[in-house]
Structure 1
Amino acid sequence: MTEGTGRLISGRYALSTLLGQGGMGQVWAAYDQRLDRRVAVKLLRPDRVAGQDGDELRRRFLRECRVTAQVDHPGLVTVHDAGSDDEELFLVMQYVDGADLAEHLAEHTPYPWPWAVAVAAQLCAVLSAVHAVPIVHRDLKPRNVMVRQDGTIVVLDLGVASVMETDTTRLTNTGTPIGTPAYMAPEQAMGGTVGPYTDLYALGVLLHELLGGDVPFAGSSALGVLHRHLYEPPVPVRRMRPEIPDALEALVLRLLAKDPQHRPASAQEVYEDLAPLLAARGTPTGAPLDPTRPFVRPHAPWPDRARTPADRPTPGTPLPGRPDVARAVDDVKRFLGEGRITQAVDVLGAILPVAAEQHGANSPVVRSLRKQYAATLMDDGQYRRALPELRRLADERATEAGQADPQALGFRQDIAQCLEQLGEPAAALAEYRALLPYYENQYVGGGPERAHDVRRSIGHLLLALGDRAAAHDTLVRLLHDVERLGGPAHPRAVDIRRTLQWLGQVR
């Protein structure tokens, strides 16, 4: 287990999985216990705070909190909280579900040039907002860019940004340039004045890497790489991929100009050059992580259920190392008892494959964990993820014990509830109608209360589908049965009567 796992920051944020570390410290996946949500927590490492540069690093980190919080753009990670915990400083940010651009490039080689254009265009929108503050990011690179499932881009880590205001500039008075050598503009490499044009150079490096498969200037040492930035011309990308449009190659070369005056004047200008190359509106691939989707179907819902089938449920934030199943089960019980449902969902999703390997996929232990996983997903409102698991549980139980088995019926009722919550009334109605004969059979457990619940759901779904006559008939008969058993003051009778009054059928 990674050191730090389970640690509570500021009495609120429980560290879960180490996502990365660098010169400024560590980034963790964590849980906000107060709001029961996933977050990312950045910590300034204690060994970098102590010593000669400790005060400098503290100032830089605190500036990061202020700077990141003042820029409001959907393409920038949201800041939730900041402060200090013992000797460490922390920044709490939105947890972004997706892949970083470096991973995305590694999985899609050669990277489609329309994707590269879409990524760059979205980055231009973010850079325009950042430069308007004015802020220079200084460390734009694929590892600092996330591609969400819906194809939108999120830029991370303004921690090395320099705010171009008189009270916040020149904090890096050691003379050491901040950034990553492979993406560093010549003026940045020489320790000179940086500006928006510096980020545009990094954008050019990033575009060249997406299109050509590698950064334009590489080497065995940082000094060697910086020397190439200063003195060598980049290789035009069409030499490696002739299918790339001439206009795109010309733009990359302009972005990589050694002299900032020869680069585009602004991120807005770069966007205007990219705009004619963007994919036209139409039908996207339907696959996740497609960066052209925001342009092909702007503002369309995600997941696009009209075009994309529901996926199998996937685990959330993975547990570090190989989780201990028994201890993880105890953690789940504790999380549920404390109302930390999201964290319980992630732990259950992570331990299921391990439990199946240790005990067998069809063992009672794994079956119990799967039941808990499905129930917890429903409690967390993740009905689409719960649905496939419930269907599998229902089918397995019905095969073993018969269709009338109470557990199998319970799973099917949960399936109907999921469909109802997902806005699929016709499918939910079919499930409830198939269930009803079993609950009305006096030999099946559940009693009349379960049958009444199902009948009320059927009536409400008929209303949702616009069949008011059938809904009225269903609810009137249900009202009679409920009043016969529980009297007119029964809460269910009061609720049904209110619905019928709303329909105008009862005065």
Structure 2
Amino acid sequence: MNGRVIADRYELSTVIGQGGMGQVWTAYDGRLDRRVAVKLLRPDHMTKGTGADEMRRRFVRECRVTAQVTHPGLVTVHDAGSDGDDLYLVMQYVDGADLADHLAEHEPYPWQWTVSVAAQICAVLAAVHAVPIVHRDLKPRNVMIKPDGTVTVLDLGVASVIDTDTTRLTHTGSPIGSPAYMAPEQAMGGTVGPYTDLYALGVLMHELLSGNVPFAGSTALGVLHRHLYEPPLPVGRVRPDIPEPLEGLVLRLLAKDPQHRPSGAQEVYESLAPLLPRRGNPGGPLDPTRPFLRPHAPWPDRAGAAAAPPPPPRPPTAAPGGRGPDVAAAVDEVKKALGEGSITRAVDILGGILPAAAAEHGERSPVVRILRKQYATTLMDDGQYRRALPELRRLADDRAAEAGPADPQTLQFRHDAAQCLEQLGEAAAAIAEYRAVLPYYENAGDTGRAFDVRQRIGNLLLAVGDHAGARHQLQALLYDTERVHGPYHRLPVELRRVLERQRQFNR
């Protein structure tokens, strides 16, 4: 299915999620030149007894309703409809990790993280329930932790289309939905409401705190039976460090009778509020306490902070006969995309072909170096300077090892790396890189590039507050540019204006 285009607009790229009823793909939106996520659902896999046309109408209607709910913690819905036998839902692509993977990588999950995740989910549920909409399938796989620690809830509205009769079993013998997170009333096919989502939140919190869902079993019916009749194990018996109010809240959320649960997401949030972390320093990317430790702070807020992981690259085009990546075809695709102004698509193609090309031809082969150079250039054109920087440094090191530090191509790679540092606001590192390449340009008699680098250094010195150093740098440059170009050339005119502004500022 790779390469399939949905609705003459969305080109499917990589599967990032899969279940019994459909798949989630990264895709390329050719109209707006952006990455999106596309969820494909098969009506014949979702239910029996309901016509496919009726399922499509219900799906589109529900998507229209849920698209009206706006909240920072909800994934944005861009489009929905049907394509062939599939229903599709086009959503914003969310960087980060889903909560199930986040838990697996951080067991035991800090209870402060659990509180922070749950509080953010409560904010989402309060907005959703006010519509009113019930999520019906809240679980770790439907919750994303973004690099800045904020939580995004996925699949709002999809479960309400699928879950018209929860007790009905599919031909595989499994109930539609997620039995491990189903409230008793949902498992019995009764009326669902906001209290149903609160029960699922209780299951999710129990799993984060203890490492396991409260009710597990070898069959779906066995799990549902335990939801109906067995009391949950208090999480404090597994994690003695958990505060008693938090343990009590989880038990209230897991009450069999909806009337014994909290009255709404707002009440749950108020119970969590005293346990939320106060001001401080977050642990790094994907730390869910960060929005409370540094509310509304920009990300990244530390020098040299790691960038968000890049989205999955577009898979390489296969060569005829399945012999591996067709590099020539990929290069042609890149040229076409760049010619159409589709820079994001070109980045995806190059990012997808590079690993396969390196495996086939060797990392130091000419074809791989050409691809890597084009990849770095395209990343810069796309404004992705943090991703371009390591590529440029690698290219510079490889070229310097072969042709020496004074080689024009080596210098170009290092100059571009300095530009990336400049764009990322890492002024001191950019100054150091520019100063390192400047003597080579001067020794080679490349006056134009040397003047440009000297001007950049002067402007960066102003940016870091070294006004004396900047004035000395720019004054010397003014003298040299006037000597070479005359006093009325664009560059000396601009330098005099900057120096005059600085003098007025320092009066």
Q: In 2, Cα distance between the equivalents of 1:501 and 1:15?
A: 55
Structure-2 residue corresponding to 1:375: 377
CA contact (8 A) 2:100 2:141 kept: yes
SS in 2 for 1:135: coil
Shift of 1:380: 1.3
CA contact (8 A) 1:439 1:450 kept: yes
Q: Which runs of 5+ in 1 are unaligned?
A: 164-169
Is the aligned partner of 1:43 residue 2:35? no
1:55 is aligned, of 53, 56, 78, to 53
Shift in alpha-carbon separation, 1:47–1:262, aligned structure 2, 3 A: closer
Shift of 1:492: 4.8
Deviations 1:289-328 (A, max 9, x none): 221222222222222324x6446x9653144588615143
Is the aligned partner of 1:90 residue 2:92? no
Shift of 1:18: 1.8
Q: In 1, Cα distance between the equivalents of 2:166 and 2:397?
A: 66
1:6-405 map, 5 Å: 6-22=3-19, 25-45=22-42, 47-48=44-45, 52-86=50-84, 88-160=86-158, 162=160, 172=164, 176=168, 179-286=177-284, 288-306=285-303, 309-310=305-306, 316-320=311-315, 324=325, 326=327, 327-405=329-407
Which residue identity is paired with 1:59? R
Shift of 1:280: 2.8
Structure-1 residue corresponding to 2:436: 434
CA contact (8 A) 1:332 1:348 kept: yes
Q: In 2, Cα distance between the equivalents of 1:362 and 1:67?
A: 53
Shift in alpha-carbon separation, 1:461–1:238, aligned structure 2, 3 A: closer
CA contact (8 A) 2:166 2:188 kept: no
Which residue identity is paired with 1:188? Q
Q: In 1, Cα distance between the equivalents of 2:80 and 2:152?
A: 20
Which residue identity is paired with 1:380? D
CA contact (8 A) 2:166 2:189 kept: no
Determine what percentage of the aligned residue pairs are the same residue. 73
1:470-489 map, 5 Å: 471=470, 474-475=473-474, 478=477
SS in 2 for 1:70: coil
Shift of 1:473: 6.0
Shift in alpha-carbon separation, 1:92–1:388, aligned structure 2, 3 A: same
Q: In 2, Cα distance between the equivalents of 1:448 and 1:209?
A: 65
Q: In 1, Cα distance between the equivalents of 2:25 and 2:502?
A: 53
Q: In 1, Cα distance between the equivalents of 2:166 and 2:436?
A: 74
Shift of 1:250: 1.3
* Worse overlay, 119-128 or 330-339: 330-339
Which residue identity is paired with 2:34? R
CA contact (8 A) 2:95 2:309 kept: no
Shift in alpha-carbon separation, 1:193–1:314, aligned structure 2, 3 A: closer
CA contact (8 A) 2:393 2:413 kept: yes
Shift in alpha-carbon separation, 1:210–1:92, aligned structure 2, 3 A: same
TM-score (norm 2): 0.87
Q: In 1, Cα distance between the equivalents of 2:144 and 2:166?
A: 31
Shift in alpha-carbon separation, 1:225–1:100, aligned structure 2, 3 A: same
CA contact (8 A) 1:17 1:320 kept: yes
Q: In 2, Cα distance between the equivalents of 1:205 and 1:315?
A: 31
Count of matched residue pairs: 490
* Worse overlay, 464-473 or 67-76: 464-473
Shift of 1:414: 0.7
Q: In 2, Cα distance between the equivalents of 1:212 and 1:418?
A: 44
Shift of 1:162: 4.8
SS in 1 for 2:97: strand
Shift of 1:118: 1.5
Shift in alpha-carbon separation, 1:7–1:501, aligned structure 2, 3 A: farther
Q: In 1, Cα distance between the equivalents of 2:253 and 2:309?
A: 40
Shift of 1:398: 2.1
Deviations 1:24-81 (A, max 9, x none): 5332111122332211112333645998431332133113321221111111001122
CA contact (8 A) 1:185 1:202 kept: yes
CA contact (8 A) 2:115 2:275 kept: yes
CA contact (8 A) 1:316 1:350 kept: no
Shift of 1:376: 1.7
Which residue identity is paired with 1:383? Y
* Worse overlay, 41-50 or 456-465: 41-50
SS in 1 for 2:301: coil
Shift in alpha-carbon separation, 1:315–1:268, aligned structure 2, 3 A: closer
Shift in alpha-carbon separation, 1:467–1:52, aligned structure 2, 3 A: closer
SS in 1 for 2:67: helix
Structure-2 residue corresponding to 1:460: 459
Which residue identity is paired with 1:58? R
Structure-2 residue corresponding to 1:451: 450
Which residue identity is paired with 2:252? R
CA contact (8 A) 2:314 2:351 kept: no
Shift of 1:478: 4.8
Q: In 1, Cα distance between the equivalents of 2:32 and 2:98?
A: 26
* Worse overlay, 296-305 or 146-155: 296-305
Q: In 1, Cα distance between the equivalents of 2:166 and 2:291?
A: 42
Q: In 1, Cα distance between the equivalents of 2:44 and 2:339?
A: 37
